[in-house]
């Protein structure tokens, strides 16, 4: 089954580039874009409400520094949302995709318990492809 990828990032250029790189990989159904953490939370809430008609994404790329809700604030809120909705289906694979390589950001991302990898921009698309292939599908 084709996979769905969510990109949470305010940088339109980054979203455009990543979308095209993903499409080149093949096997991608839908690439969804959320402009910040809040937009992503809203989107997840809709998905959870409309289950099973709507699927959770297979992979989410999460930026850290965004003008609205940043990635580090978004992750724990999403964890709460999952808990509150008793999400037991395999959750999506979360990859941080950020230009920050500060150790404190890295540590904060890992402490959320949701994140499987931390990539810095520009993304290593081979790594993204590898993680995507291992995602729930």
Partner 1 sequence: MYAEAFECAPVALLLVRTGGVIEHANHEAERLFGYEPGTLDGRHVDLLVPARFRTQHGALMDAFHRHPETRTMGAGRELYGVRSDGRELRIEVGLTRLDRPEGGHLIMASVVDLSARLRDDERFRAAFEAAPNAMILVDAAGRIVLVNGQTEALFGYDRGELLGEPIELLVPQDMRARHPAFVKVYTAAPVPRPMGSGRDLHGQRKDGTLVPIEVGLRPLRGPDGDYVISSVVDISERVQARERLMQRNEELEQFAYRTSHDLRAPLVTMKGLAEFIGEDAARGANDEVVANAARVVHLADRMLHLVEGILALARSDYANEPAAEVDVGALVEAARENLGGALRAAGVSLVYVPAHRRPLLGQPTRVTQILENLISNGIKYADPAKAERHVVVRTFSGPHQFHLQVEDNGLGIPAERHGQVFAIFTRFHADRGPGSGLGLYLVRQHVLKLGGTIEFESSPAGTTFHVTVPFRLRTSPLPKAG
Residue 66 contacts residue 37 (beta carbons within 8 Å): yes
| 63 forms part of the interface with partner 1 (CB under 8 A) | yes
Question: Which residues within the stretch 16-45 sit at the binding site for partner 1 (CB under 8 A)?
Answer: 16-17, 20-21
Inter-CA distances, 124 with 3, 24, 30, 48, 117, Å: 19, 14, 20, 31, 12
Shortest separation between residue 87's beta carbon and partner 1, angstroms? 29
Query: Which residues in 48-76 are b (16+ Cβ under 10 Å) and which e?
Result: beeeeeebbbbbbbbbbebeebbbbbbbe
Please identify which residue in 4, 98, 112, 135 interacts with partner 1, judged by CB under 8 A: 98
Judged by beta carbon, residue 99 or residue 111, the one nearer partner 1 is 99
Segment near partner 1 (CB under 8 A); pick from 25-33, 83-91, 92-100, 111-119:
92-100
Give me the residues that bind partner 1 (CB under 8 A), please. Answer: 9-11, 13, 16-17, 20-21, 63, 65-67, 98-101, 104, 120-122
């Amino acid at each position: 089954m084709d996979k769905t990828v969510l990109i949470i990032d305010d940088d339109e250029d980054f979203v455009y580039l990543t979308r095209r790189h993903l499409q080149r990989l093949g096997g991608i159904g839908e690439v969804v874009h959320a402009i910040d953490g809040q937009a992503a939370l809203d989107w997840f809430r809709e998905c959870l409400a409309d289950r099973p008609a709507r699927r959770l994404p297979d992979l989410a790329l999460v930026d850290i520094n965004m003008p609205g809700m940043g990635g580090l604030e978004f992750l724990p809120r999403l964890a709460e949302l999952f808990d509150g909705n008793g999400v037991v289906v395999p959750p999506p694979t979360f990859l941080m995709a950020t230009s920050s390589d500060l150790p404190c950001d890295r540590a904060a991302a890992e402490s959320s318990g949701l994140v499987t990898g931390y990539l810095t921009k520009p993304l290593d698309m081979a790594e993204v492809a590898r993680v995507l292939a291992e995602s729930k599908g």
